[in-house]
Amino acid sequence: MEFRYLGNSGFKVSEITFGNWLTHGSQVENDVATECVRAALDAGISTFDTADVYANTAAETVLGAALKNERRESLEIFTKVYGPTGPKGKNDLGLSRKHIMESINGSLRRLQTDYVDLYQAHRYDFETPLEETMQAFADIVRQGKALYIGVSEWTAEQLREGHALSKELGFQLISNQPQYSMLWRVIEAEVVPTSEELGVSQIVWSPMAQGVLSGKYLPGQPAPEGSRATDQKGGAKMIERWMRDDVLAGVQELKPIAEEAGLSMPQLAVAWVLQNPNVASAIVGASRPEQIADSVEAAGVKLEAEVLKRIDDAIGSLAERDPAQTKSPPKREA
């Protein structure tokens, strides 16, 4: 495993982060989830990402139990706040001071830890003054409940405003967690250049485009049984944007490129996002322990310029690049 600094800080994370968004606490049994965490640890992954909204807090509980007997100082544990949790009452979502302060305490309890290494604003909250949100984060850092602060899916302008406030309030905003893959490149035009200027790193999710870049989905053929595209609990909806024959055909053109590079298709997809110097870590998930070992092989891989060009030629106009696609939920109805 290789490690990279997160933002303009002295904090290092593993190039591969284990995330439990679509699986733990909902789609796989807890014992299998624990086995996946064990496999991640055995593979050298030390960084774990979750959120209170995943499986309505159950994912945090599963992760906390799985990491309970590990040396805390050897781990980097991330979680997030914003989405609706609990009974989803009027103050059970967003980035108000009330919701943030109550949420960090709940997350720490479920994760069975005194602090998280990185606490992230899961989306931008148009309903709450940014000053209120950032002051709450500053207080959490001073209380020792979080060591660093990050955000997720913020635009370049939102990052700039949040970063300025964090400096005024005496803490570091060091990361952004956006979607990023060969097929979803919306952060490249604005978010990445701004982040490089500010000293903010990307921790990217869905580097395999919900599994489409694994190559297992073939144009003109039904999705394999048991795959995410057949999962009606949520996975199918997330992946449907890529389940077009033109996209699937383009992905198939990546197979010889991966083979010549000595990589599997998933490894090529993860290695590709890690070629971006502003990316500190790629988040991978797993519903089976053996999936972890394959993804980890992408750490430390260097893709030559010719390989990167061949990938661009294969994907071409199929990739989404519009910066406007980086967005948070709109203002809530009164």
Q: Show which residues are catalytic.
A: 54
* Contact criterion met (CB below 8 Å) for 202 and 7: no
- Cα-only R_g, the chain: 19
Helix, strand and coil in the chain, % to nearest 5: 45, 15, 40
- Amino acid found at 318: L
* Contact criterion met (CB below 8 Å) for 108 and 99: no
160, 187, 180, 184: which is closest to 281 by C-alpha?
180
* Contact criterion met (CB below 8 Å) for 39 and 289: yes
Question: What whole-number distance in Å separates Cα of residue 292 and Cα of residue 268?
Answer: 14
Q: ∠ CA 275-238-189 to the nearest 5 degrees? A: 40
Question: What whole-number distance in Å separates Cα of residue 229 and Cα of residue 240?
Answer: 7
Structure-token pair, residue 179: 């979607």
